[in-house]
Chain A
Amino acid sequence: GENVEQHPSTLSVQEGDSAVIKCTYSDSASNYFPWYKQELGKRPQLIIDIRSNVGEKKDQRIAVTLNKTAKHFSLHITETQPEDSAVYFCAAPKAAGNKLTFGGGTRVLVKP
């Protein structure tokens, strides 16, 4: 099945700096890569996703890049703000697309 590794497990940045989280996956047929943000005590919510036909996608301060050859994708947060503090999960589906495998999560702390 799909194996998703996420690094780092914790990330502390100064407000205004950038944060980068990287995930690797094992199934070369995976074609959809979402990122979820989970604030303390709340449910995970999708913040951005990318499909295999593009290499990069941006949404304001958030961007995701995909390298299918190397089988890794990354989340980039620029100009970080305290409200970006949360746990971020990447995910990738099995080839048949019948369920997502989630990475272990990255706890991001933005220090004011």
Chain B
Amino acid sequence: GAGVSQSPSNKVTEKGKDVELRCDPISGHTALYWYRQSLGQGLEFLIYFQGNSAPDKSGLPSDRFSAERTGGSVSTLTIQRTQQEDSAVYLCASSLVLAGDGTQYFGPGTRLTVL
């Protein structure tokens, strides 16, 4: 079946612009996660959605970052007034159940470059 998909695959923007990154999780997966990965670095947790529960936003680095998940499926990560330090690969993952008991499947990522 189809895996996690993300769009766009690459995004180049100018400092100060807003960007929207999209994630389509695997159908039926109730949990969805956003991570950020800077070049050569590890996986930085950003935000997590589980069903209809309030999202865990504890990883968002600033109030310029926000995310929503509509209808329990597609998610959009929005970065307002982008800064050069926002340049990274943004990865989305989904799982059938909570991370404590389920495998996370990652999308291919969106490479964001802020000029």
Contact = CB atoms under 8 A, between A and B. Distances in A.
- A and B, one complex? yes
Interface of A: 30-32, 34, 36, 42-46, 49, 89, 93-94, 96-105
Contacts of B106: 36, 43-45
Given A44-B91, A45-B106, A103 B100 contact: no
Contact of B48 (A46, A49, A98, A103): A98
Contacts, number: 58
Interface string B5-45: 00000000000000000000000000001000000011101
Interface in B51-75: 56
Contacts of B107: 43
Given A45-B106, A99-B33, A99-B48, 17 more contacts: A30-B100, A32-B101, A43-B91, A43-B106, A44-B91, A46-B103, A89-B43, A94-B100, A97-B101, A98-B48, A98-B99, A100-B33, A100-B45, A100-B99, A101-B45, A102-B42, A105-B42
